[in-house]
């Protein structure tokens, strides 16, 4: 009887330790879902792609700006250079970490404002949302506002 109690205690303690490690693992994974980091913008690639300190390339989530040679390319790139270059931004991750090109997918916050929303509201980019995202409504409302008010190079 004492032998069974000892084995039972060992099994119980072992199970509790495994459960604790699993709990810690899943909680840390949940915390990493929307990682927020402060970084300095070191280079502007185009209207929706930047490079931050450390050399990481960031593709702004929920938006799409014109590519080189298209109507709003220069204006959007210049807007990012004027507003982001050399500044500290807060980056926020969504569910996917990287796109197929290896770029980090992030929302950017400058002085507490969602920059992804701002660039759409200013009419330099369009909303491009493929699934449910945290800022879907704000980005779509920003686009509606820019269209309605004929703002920026996309809608004026």
Residues 6+ apart with CB under 8 A from 92: 34, 35, 36, 106, 107, 108, 109
- Residues 102-125, mean pLDDT to the nearest whole number: 96
Q: Which residue's structure tokens are 């090109």? A: 101
Element (H, E) at 29: helix 2-31
Question: How many residues are there in the chain?
Answer: 156
The 10 Å Cβ neighbour count of residue 86 is: 8
Mean pLDDT of the chain: 87
Q: Does residue 68 surpass a pLDDT of 50? A: yes
Q: Does residue 65 surpass a pLDDT of 50? A: yes
């Amino acid at each position: 009887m004492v032998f069974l109690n000892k084995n039972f205690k060992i099994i119980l303690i072992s199970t509790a330790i495994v459960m604790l490690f699993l709990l810690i693992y899943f909680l840390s994974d949940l915390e990493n879902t929307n990682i927020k980091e402060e970084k300095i913008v070191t280079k502007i690639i185009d209207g929706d792609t930047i490079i931050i300190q450390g050399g990481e390339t960031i593709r702004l989530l929920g938006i799409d700006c014109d590519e080189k040679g298209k109507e709003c390319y220069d204006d959007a790139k210049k807007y990012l250079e004027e507003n982001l270059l050399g500044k500290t931004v807060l980056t926020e991750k969504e569910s996917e970490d990287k796109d197929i090109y290896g770029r980090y997918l992030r929302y950017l916050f400058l002085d507490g404002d969602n920059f992804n929303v701002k660039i759409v509201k200013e009419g330099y980019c369009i909303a491009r949302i493929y699934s449910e995202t945290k800022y879907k409504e704000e980005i779509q409302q920003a686009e509606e506002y820019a269209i309605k008010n004929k703002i920026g190079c996309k809608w004026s």
